[in-house]
A and B are shown apart, each in its own frame.
Chain A
């Protein structure tokens, strides 16, 4: 079975903290690894990673892929309450296979 595993399942931090979210996957038919933020219903696209070792950044968020060790991390620095959400990673083969997500709660 093709699996995407995220850790931790949930995380509670205070504003200003830095968090690292983890995503590991199986190598079968791998094309890309995507990260999404889901606040209410719709997942919002964050990053698409295809090449190993190249960091992608958007403001306080950054992500990198390690195709040798089969994992990706999503970093959020100086967290804000608006970062509270479920963060989903998904492996793209001929379809998207989602992990179970990491629920991040940021308190003032």
Chain B
């Protein structure tokens, strides 16, 4: 399995500001992903974080709102930009060691936007 940490674990932010969430894996992984889980709902994939190139976004998510970086094989960041209360969610990163292998999840970041 992969051990994944996320920072911060939670935050309360003001409308219009931005927050960057960090995800660190304990060893090199092939794939890293970012998910959103809105209150009472299941997980929705935001994007696949590609090492050394632009992230691949799912329908309904755009780079201007959710810029993602992945500078190496163990680390990625997700920024939630120009936040509104609708962005209040749990944000989770996950990683796969090998392509289409089991995905392991980080502990999540609970974001509240006032």
Q: List the interface of chain A (C-beta within 8 A of B).
A: 31-32, 34, 36, 40-45, 48, 88, 90, 92, 94-101
CB proximity of B90 to chain A, nearest CB, Å: 5
Q: Are A45 and B42 in contact (CB under 8 A)?
A: no
Q: Are A100 and B41 in contact (CB under 8 A)?
A: yes
Q: Are A41 and B110 in contact (CB under 8 A)?
A: yes
A interface, over-half SS: strand
* Residues in B neighbouring A34, C-beta threshold 8 A: 102-103
CB proximity of B104 to chain A, nearest CB, Å: 6
If A45-B104, A100-B42 are given as contacts, then 19 extra A-B residue pairs at C-beta distance below 8 Å, sorted by A number, are A32-B100, A41-B90, A41-B107, A42-B108, A43-B92, A45-B103, A45-B105, A48-B102, A92-B100, A95-B33, A95-B45, A95-B48, A95-B58, A96-B94, A97-B45, A98-B43, A98-B44, A99-B42, A101-B42
CB proximity of B103 to chain A, nearest CB, Å: 6
Q: List the interface of chain B (C-beta within 8 A of A).
A: 1, 33, 41-45, 48, 58, 90, 92, 94, 100, 102-108, 110
Q: Are B42 and A42 in contact (CB under 8 A)?
A: no
CA distance A63 to B42 in the complex (A): 21
**Could you pull out 6 A-B pairs where Cβ atoms are within 8 angstroms?**
A44-B105, A45-B103, A92-B100, A95-B48, A98-B43, A98-B44
* Residues in A neighbouring B90, C-beta threshold 8 A: 41
CA distance A6 to B110 in the complex (A): 25
* Residues in B neighbouring A96, C-beta threshold 8 A: 33, 43, 45, 94, 103
